[in-house]
Structure 1
Amino acid sequence: MTNHIKQLVAEELQNPSFFMTGEYLKVLQPLYKNGLPQVIKVDIDNVNAIAKAYVVVKDESFYLLFLFDIEKEVVLSCVETAPFVRISYTAVSKELELEDLLGLTTVLPTTIIKKGEKCGRGFEYDYNGLEFVSTDDPADFLDKLAAFLDVLETDSEGIKHLSEKTLCHEIFVTIIYHNDVASFTGLWLESVLMKRLSELNLGLTFDIYPSGKRLYSGD
Structure 2
Amino acid sequence: MSDKEITDLIDKELKEKTLGVTEQYLKIHSPVYLDGKLKIERIDREKENGIVIAYLPVDGEVFFFKVYIDTHNKEIFNINTEPYNRVYFRASSETLSLAELKSMCNLIATDGRNKGDLKGITKKAEYKYSYVTYLPNPEPDDFSCKLKKLLDYLEQDKEGIKWFVEEANGYIQVAMNIHNANGMIGGPSINRETIKRMSDLGLGIDFDLYLEGKSFLDDVL
Tell me whether the two structures share a fold, i.e. TM-score over 0.5.
yes
Q: Distance in 1 between matches of 2:132 and 2:85?
A: 20
Aligned partners of 1:86 and 1:134 also within 8 Å: no
Aligned-pair RMSD on alpha carbons? 1.7
Q: How does 1:1-219 map to 2 (within 5 A)?
A: 1=1, 2-45=3-46, 47-71=48-72, 73-120=73-120, 121=122, 122-166=124-168, 168-185=169-186, 187-218=188-219
Aligned partners of 1:29 and 1:58 also within 8 Å: yes
- Displacement of 1:195 after TM fit? 0.9
Indicate the SS of the match to 2:218. Answer: coil
Structure 1: gaps spanning 5 or more residues:
none
Counting matched residue pairs gives 217
TM-score by length of 2: 0.91
Q: Distance in 2 between matches of 1:186 and 1:46?
A: 22
- Displacement of 1:3 after TM fit? 1.5
Aligned partners of 1:169 and 1:201 also within 8 Å: no
Among all aligned residue pairs of Structure 1 and Structure 2, give the percentage whose two residues are the same amino acid.
31
Aligned partners of 2:183 and 2:215 also within 8 Å: no
186 and 111 in structure 1: CA distance in 2 versus 1, 3 angstrom threshold: closer
Q: Distance in 2 between matches of 1:173 and 1:11?
A: 35
Q: Distance in 2 between matches of 1:97 and 1:69?
A: 50
46 and 187 in structure 1: CA distance in 2 versus 1, 3 angstrom threshold: closer
Aligned partners of 2:175 and 2:207 also within 8 Å: yes
Amino acid at match of 1:91: A
Structure 2: gaps spanning 5 or more residues:
none
Indicate the SS of the match to 2:41. Answer: strand
46 and 212 in structure 1: CA distance in 2 versus 1, 3 angstrom threshold: closer
Q: Distance in 1 between matches of 2:170 and 2:99?
A: 20
Aligned partners of 1:163 and 1:169 also within 8 Å: yes
